[in-house]
Amino acid sequence: MTPHAAAQAPAATTASAAAPAATHRPAKVLRLASESETGFDPARIGDVRSLRVTAHIFETLLQYDPLARPVKLRPNTARAMPEASADFRTWTVRLKPGIRFADDPAFGGRPRELVAADYAYSIRRLADPATKSPSWSSLEQIGIRGMAALRQEALARQSAFDYDRPLPGLQVLDRYTLRFELDAGRPRFAQWLAEAATGAVAREVIESQGELSMQHPVGTGPFRLAQWRRASRIVLERNPGYREVTYQAEPAPDDAAGQALLARFKGRRLPMIDRVEIAIIEEKQPTWLAFLNGEADWVELPDGFVGTAMPHGRLAPHLARRGIQAERVVMPSTYYTMFNMQHPLVGGYAPRQVALRRAIGLAIDVSREITLLRHGAAIPAQSPVTVHLSGYDPAWRSEMSEYSPTRARALLDLHGYLDRDGDGWRETPEGAPIVLEMATQPGIEMRRFDELMTRDMDAIGLRVVFHTAQWPQQYKAARAGKLMLWSVSGRAGTPDGIQGLQRYDGAAAGGMNLARFDLPQMNALIAQLLALPDGPQREAVFDQAKRLTVAWMPYKLRTHLAATALSQPWLIGFRRPVFGHNWFEFVDLEPPPH
């Protein structure tokens, strides 16, 4: 039996196993590894690990073409691209009829069609305080008329969010038509309709599941959840009720690889595989060994093995001889260290508090991190507006990437952070000990990052201690404002540069804004950027905003990550999505050689 032969039925599932699409062949099973997930409710998650799963279960109105570069939006469940008014305040979207949710007991044994009201409900969930959605801040920025007031009323009265009250900004015109009325013009509103958080859920499923919605996803997408053992294993299976969708794409004329994929797959029914098995593995070495042994079909190359697999940025000859394929892309993602702006030591807006954060930032040796830990698979971050986004300027340079322990020590001395007792560690201007408390995760890779952080802080006389917990626990604590410092990566979901600035928006505190930074000047610039059309005026505002992120340093931006994916020779068609997370439905598996 080949590695892609039908697997035994899981011991516990959330849905009955689907039959393979064709009975004359074994099931095609895509196997990969991932780090810990948080759950599968699109309104309640914000981590890439979970989004990679939900993007294949829940569907957004629009999606990104799998091969187009530069990226291009196209209709998904929408019948056509949205219709916008001249001032970009009114947007109308029409759905394709006949799309159905996967079967679920909440539907009472009847087929359940996707309708416009499902999107209206799903979007309202982002505003419901009880959902605690990390995507509320982006919805608030969109400015759907009446939505913020409805949320505020629920907060003020401590009452249930009213899902049935008519909203002027979110109108269900008929069974398949939605109309959005916005407080201000939003020229790039269509991009938001491809955000994973806007994936359609069914109200009766959510209400029947309550807090269990994170483990009971029911959508209209090409796959459904078959099994989940938290922090251990995730299994997706082909959704037997998925509508007829065929492979279509628009690669650039000079994209030879993209054109070859289109020629090979055009018109094929999606998905082309039957099952996806995801092993949750926190340690990188077992992940890498599983791929080398042919037990995984695809791997996100761990940083510690970049030198082995991709020396000098090229696939190692011993891997190339096996037919393994490599794709390296600098992603619109940023690895950063957040400072809790509400913490009495590292937070605050007084000059000395800003000086402490900037000194810590200057003492972090990003180049050493890239060389030793990333093995060259990253570039220094200059601002939160990353590569692939509007507002990104490859020539823009800032203190964010500067390494200068000398300047760091001078800043600390100037603002009274001195070693008063001669023990080698600095104290606050009031004489209290300084202890930087850094959240971290278990594992060899994180220990290496922690060792570099210790070395860098020792060099400027700051003591740092580490508190270890699993990633989902740290993320939850960060959103609640309970961490002092934490290093984490964030990835933009659309090509708009505003994505990189959302974590600096005061209204996003507790959501994307883990630092809880709240500066009126920055909030005003973000509001301008949302309303301005693309062009030189908007680029100038981006420049102002980027300078504020460096000056106040609520986040020490470290790197933009170059993600390297390796695929076995029998995995055909992988092209990493720059925005969005779905790709399982666009690949095929051929039998490996015996």
Q: Tell me if the bond preceding 317 is cis, omega within 30° of 0.
A: no
Q: If you search the block for the tokens 């074994």, which residue do you land on?
A: 26
**CA 397 from chain center: how many Å?**
25
Nearest to 124 by CA among 41, 198, 39: 198
Does residue 21 lie within any of the structural domains?
Answer: no
pLDDT of residue 16: 39
Q: Which three-class secondary structure state does DSSP give residue 116?
A: helix
CB contact at 8 A, 488 and 472: no
Rounded alpha-carbon distances, angstroms, from residue 592 to 2, 163, 324, 572, 582: 7, 51, 12, 11, 24
* Same domain? 382 vs 502: yes
358 Cβ partners below 8 Å, 6+ apart? 399, 408, 411, 553
Closest CA to 305 of 320, 325, 283, 321: 283
pTM of the model: 0.82
* DSSP classification of residue 18: P
Q: Is residue 62 part of a domain?
A: yes
Domain CATH code at residue 147: 3.40.190.10
Question: CA 462 to CA 433: how far, in whole Å?
Answer: 9
Residue spans of beta strands (DSSP E) within 156-219 = 170-174, 177-181
For strands 485-491 and 435-440, give the pairing.
Answer: parallel
> ∠ CA 329-335-339 to the nearest 5 degrees?
165
Q: Which of 221, 255, 290 is at the close of a domain?
A: 221
Q: How far apart are the first and last CA of the chain?
A: 10
What distance in Å separates the CA atoms of residue 513 and residue 353, rounded to the nearest whole number? Answer: 19
Query: Torsion-angle region of residue 158: left (phi > 0), alpha (psi -120 to 50) or beta?
Result: left
List the domain range (segments joined by +) for residue 396.
Answer: 333-562
Cβ 380 vs Cβ 402: under 8 Å: no
Alpha carbon distance 548, 79 (integer Å): 42
Counting the structural domains of the chain, the total is 2
CA 16 to chain centre: 29
Helices 351-363 and 536-552, interaxial angle, to 10°? 90
The structure tokens 């598996």 sit at 589
Instruction: Please check whether residue 302 lies inside any domain of the structure.
Output: no
Number of H helices, E strands in the chain: 18, 22
Same domain, 396 and 523: yes
CATH code of residue 485: 3.10.105.10
| pLDDT per residue of the chain (594 residues) written in tens, 0 to 9 | 334 443 333 333 344 334 444 456 689 999 998 888 889 999 999 888 899 999 999 999 999 999 999 999 999 999 999 999 999 999 999 999 999 999 999 999 999 999 999 999 999 999 999 999 999 988 998 999 999 999 999 999 999 999 999 999 999 999 999 999 999 999 999 999 999 999 999 999 999 998 899 999 999 999 999 999 998 999 999 999 999 999 999 999 999 999 999 999 999 999 999 999 999 988 888 999 999 999 999 999 887 888 899 988 899 999 999 999 999 988 899 999 999 999 999 999 999 999 999 999 999 999 999 999 888 889 999 999 999 999 999 999 999 999 999 999 999 999 999 999 999 999 999 999 999 999 999 988 899 999 999 999 999 999 999 999 998 899 999 999 999 999 999 888 889 999 889 899 998 898 889 999 999 999 999 999 999 999 999 999 999 999 999 999 999 999 998 889 999 999 999 999 999 899 999 999 997 644
Indicate whether 208 and 343 sit together in one domain.
Answer: no
Provide the phi-psi class of 336: left if phi over 0, else alpha when psi is between -120 and 50, else beta.
Answer: beta
**Three-state secondary structure readout of 368-379:** HHHHHHCCCCEE
Within a domain: 242? no
231 Cα distance to chain centroid = 18
Given this model, what pLDDT does residue 36 score? 83
Residue at which a domain ends, from 165, 192, 221: 221
248-269 burial by CB neighbour count: b if 16+ within 10 A, else e? ebebeeebeebeebbeebeeee
Distance CA 241, CA 224 (A): 10
CA–CA–CA angle 573, 578, 584 (5° rounding): 40
Residues 194 and 339 in one domain: no
Distance of alpha carbon 16 from alpha carbon 226, whole angstroms: 7
Judge contact between 366 and 401, C-beta under 8 A.
Answer: yes
Q: Does a structural domain hold residue 14?
A: no
Is position 408 within any domain?
yes
Task: Tell me, yes or no, whether 486 lies in a domain.
Answer: yes
Residues with Cβ within 8 Å of residue 391, at least 6 apart in sequence:
385, 497, 498, 500, 529, 538, 539, 542, 546
Please state the φ and ψ torsions of residue 228, each to the nearest 5 degrees: -150, 115
Pair of tokens at residue 32 = 């990969």
Q: Do 399 and 542 have their domain in common?
A: yes
Last residue of a domain, one of 221, 250, 265: 221
Q: Tell me, what's the pLDDT at 24? A: 62
Helix axes 116-127, 147-157, angle to 10 degrees: 50
Task: Please check whether residue 391 lies inside any domain of the structure.
Answer: yes
225-253 confidence digits (pLDDT tens): 999 999 899 999 999 999 999 999 999 99
